[in-house]
Structure 1
Amino acid sequence: MEEGKEEVKSFNDLGVCEQLVEACDNLGWKHPSKIQAEAIPHALEGKDLIGLAQTGSGKTGAFALPILQALLETPQAFFACVLSPTRELAIQIAEQFEALGSGIGVKCAVLVGGVDHMQQSIALGKRPHIVVATPGRLSDHLSNTKGFSLRTLKYLVLDEADRLLNDDFEKAIDEILEVIPRERKTYLFSATMTKKVRKLQRACLRNPVKIEAASKYSTVDTLKQQYLFVPDKYKDCYLVYILTEMSGSTSMVFTRTCDSTRLLALMLRNLGLRAIPISGHMTQAKRFGALNQFKAGECNILVCTDVASRGLDIPSVDMVINYNVPSNSKDYIHRVGRTARAGRTGVAISVVNQYELEWYIQIEKLIGKKLPKFPAHEEEVLLLLERVSEAKRISQMKIKEPGGKRNRKGGDDDGEEEIGRYLNGKSSKKSKKH
């Protein structure tokens, strides 16, 4: 082995204090990941950071450990704020802070949409050390929750900054930056360095250290990537064929729209497969429910939109299927990053129809390789056609049933009874009254 390769053996070597090293140990973190090894020493020296790292690289630990160490030295309420583009990611970040800080009594508050405002105000009244939030809801609390401010904030983290900078969040982020102290430490983490990320870097970081823990757009070596070119009318058959061929796998199936997550999940369930949907149209409670069912292994197929393509740490995913090829090839990197995480192996299969070929070619250009075909025999696949068509027809009828239309407030009732019963831990045949 080359000299210098073994320089960092443990979190201890990075300057992390004993209590936090123990917390890492309890979480099963034996050795720092690349982004942690490079970011933590600079952060402990008090530098601002820009971290570019692919998904699943251990970014949360890279900013949580230095913040917790600084909090230990000077304990105070509202010490750090982490901004996240999605509710699920915000909750997960808070869980990681709590797990790392469990031995030192760290309190977190999560401020996200879809959850009762008053409950969150009560949590803020308890003066937590760490606030993890989506930008819109944080801005709302800063304006409307009496007695709450971030005037004493010491650390600001922008996680998945490339996604925080879309138009939905821009106004809220500007409002937040207006009311927090300029004298603070800022960490910006992003999978990609876009023009907007550069602009934000100039706006709120001072002499940052830039850490790049991965090549610009790459997929990990332990990921086996394949594709299937299929006629659009047989796409459902090919999906069912792949899921049946790989029946022991835990799989995430990515679709383009919220409506198709529900339809596909119902269709797969009608075929006896344990599928559950997650999308932005679902209520927060149902999204958590679906995620927990999947994490617990009670269903092994999660049908989702890009709401689940980043930041969700679901360690046991064996396979990612792109039922719809993403039109933005960078989204492909994030989707397939759900599997083959932390050194494990995984499979990613893209089911490409005639309308998506151009997008698929862009993906191959981006990752710099031609992918092999997934071995599928059309005559075997088409044996499924009748059953799959019937299952889809039944699912469409269920979604169109009276009382099964999506309500105007963004709720989702279509096909809800079936999925709702499943989320309550029972299949439709065994449902219990609460």
Structure 2
Amino acid sequence: MSGAKRQKTAHDAPAKRQKAEASASQASPDPPTEEESATLDVASSADAADAPEEPKTFKELGIVDSLCEACESLNYKHPTSIQAKSIPVALQGRDVIGLAETGSGKTAAFALPILQALLEKPQPLFGLVLAPTRELAAQIGQSFEALGALISLRCAVIVGGLDMVPQAIALGKKPHIIVATPGRLVDHLEKTKGFSLRSLKYLVMDEADRLLDMDFGPSIDKILKFIPRERRTYLFSATLSSKVESLQRASLRDPVRVSVSSSKYQTVSTLLQHYIFVPHKRKDTYLIYLVNEFAGKSIIIFTRTVFETQRIAILLRTLGFGAIPLHGQLSQSSRLGALNKFKGGSREILVATDVAARGLDIPAVDVVLNLDLPQDSKTYIHRVGRTARAGKSGIAISIVTQYDVEIYQRIEAALGKQLETYPTEKEEVMAFQSRVEEAQRETRVEMKAFLESKDKKGKGKGKTAGPKRRRDNMDEEEG
């Protein structure tokens, strides 16, 4: 495809796209489901009429001046809904279950009360945050360090895929806050001499539903045996599944449930959601058409497997697009490098498995393209939640083939609405076909070399690369 064509598409987008970006889809709020647990729901419909106006500043929430200054330096101007509802409850010393849609500011909602408690009674190994992925753990660690910069906070991030020795040294320095993935934390609790969490005061389980979906339940059970019963526990999640309810009963004491989601599967009103029904053999062609439609914008393309992620990234690069892959079989440095390049704008397109679907704060994502539909509706919600964050608008388009109809219908049923077709002209799409076919041939050659290289590395590692190691180090393989 010519550079002139791409430039023209980026700056003179069709009227249909301008119209799409100017409006926003309206989600019909459903009433919250009734929970059988004995928790207090501060967002229940019974209390809604008497609910006071939400505070407009962090100081009004009860946050001390030094942390308010930190919020101001990070441009946190006003508390989000989940922060406004959960922080006062947490400051009262209650356990909290926080339910909020992705991108709602959950990290500060649990970080600020912990840091305020730490200021009142400073001690090492004060708080532990469990996260499902390495990238989310690193992001939470950065948030704690930024909020605690004025109070000399020491924070250690403990994740799989990295050498345990430097991590053991970092733990030996007695950090105030540990942010960890469950598998690697268990490794240190069992093997690192002198490391103990017996003095821990705060436990946070972030993205709790995904922690359990990824089979971290046994690791969490072990961790709960290593930490004191007398502690404060915060459980934050976008959805409340039966597994999460079981976890709450096992680990929280008389918790307050704080919810800012009006339905189990809610998307923000500023997000436009569309689908395109295409023949399976034309998926690549329609994908390239869409990428060209949104040339110049920040795009995440979600695929179902590591193989497809790598293939699409190569295909896009062959066609001249700045694309970079992100999946669980990359090294940790490569994964963080891919994220940083995408965040920094040196790459406009991130091609990712669902390792990027949850929790990651990438503020400037304009478009989400689902090349492969996810297997469940919850993952769909988290994928499209990568755009339209913090009040901004965004577009999500799903490519649906004849083999995806049942999955797509389940997603629409969960959303409670039918999505509109994204308008396309077949002639415009098929104009890309010959160039795409040529790029596919080149991509097959590169993929063959990539797979052969991967096989050689796997044989070199021997049994250490087996399922047990991959499970402990998280997300080593999707699909």
| TM-score normalised by L of structure 1 | 0.92
Partner of 1:421: none
The CA deviation at 1:264 is 0.2
CA contact (8 A) 2:54 2:84 kept: no
In 2, distance between residues paired with 1:352 and 1:409? Answer: 35
Instruction: Trace 1:121-132 onto structure 2 (pairs within 5 A).
Output: 121-132=168-179
SS for the counterpart of 2:454 is coil
Partner of 2:222: 175
Change (3 A) 1:403 1:318: closer
Change (3 A) 1:143 1:221: same
- Determine if the alignment matches structure 1 residue 72 to structure 2 residue 124: no
The CA deviation at 1:168 is 2.8
SS for the counterpart of 1:165 is helix
Partner of 2:300: 252
Partner of 1:261: 309
- Residue segments in structure 1 that go unaligned for 5+ positions in a row: 413-434
Partner of 1:427: none
Moved over 2 A (4+): 2-7, 401-405, 407-412
Give CA deviations for 1:194-224 in whole Å, capped at 9, x if unaligned: 1111111110100000011112210000001
Report % sequence identity: 58
Pairing partner for 1:343 from 381, 388, 391: 391
Partner of 1:387: 435
Letter in structure 2 aligned against 1:373: T
SS for the counterpart of 2:216 is helix
Instruction: Trace 1:131-280 onto structure 2 (pairs within 5 A).
Output: 131-166=178-213, 168-215=215-262, 216-280=264-328
SS for the counterpart of 1:138 is helix
- Residue segments in structure 2 that go unaligned for 5+ positions in a row: 1-48, 461-479
Aligned pairs, number: 411
The CA deviation at 1:92 is 0.3
Change (3 A) 1:145 1:16: same
SS for the counterpart of 1:162 is helix
| TM-score normalised by L of structure 2 | 0.84
CA contact (8 A) 1:317 1:339 kept: yes
In 1, distance between residues paired with 2:413 and 2:52? Answer: 32
Give CA deviations for 1:91-132 in whole Å, capped at 9, x if unaligned: 000000000000000011011001111110111111100000
- Determine if the alignment matches structure 1 residue 33 to structure 2 residue 74: no
In 1, distance between residues paired with 2:458 and 2:53? Answer: 52
Q: Which has the higher contact order (CA 8 A, sep 6+)?
A: 2
Letter in structure 2 aligned against 1:129: H
CA contact (8 A) 1:79 1:154 kept: yes
Letter in structure 2 aligned against 1:75: P
Give CA deviations for 1:335-370 in whole Å, capped at 9, x if unaligned: 000000010000000011110111111111111111
In 2, distance between residues paired with 1:343 and 1:35? Answer: 14
Letter in structure 1 aligned against 2:77: K
Change (3 A) 1:114 1:221: same
The CA deviation at 1:192 is 1.0
SS for the counterpart of 1:391 is helix
RMSD of Structure 2 on Structure 1 (CA): 1.7
In 1, distance between residues paired with 2:73 and 2:450? Answer: 51
- Determine if the alignment matches structure 1 residue 354 to structure 2 residue 402: yes
In 2, distance between residues paired with 1:223 and 1:88? Answer: 24
In 1, distance between residues paired with 2:377 and 2:459? Answer: 30
In 2, distance between residues paired with 1:160 and 1:244? Answer: 34
SS for the counterpart of 1:106 is coil
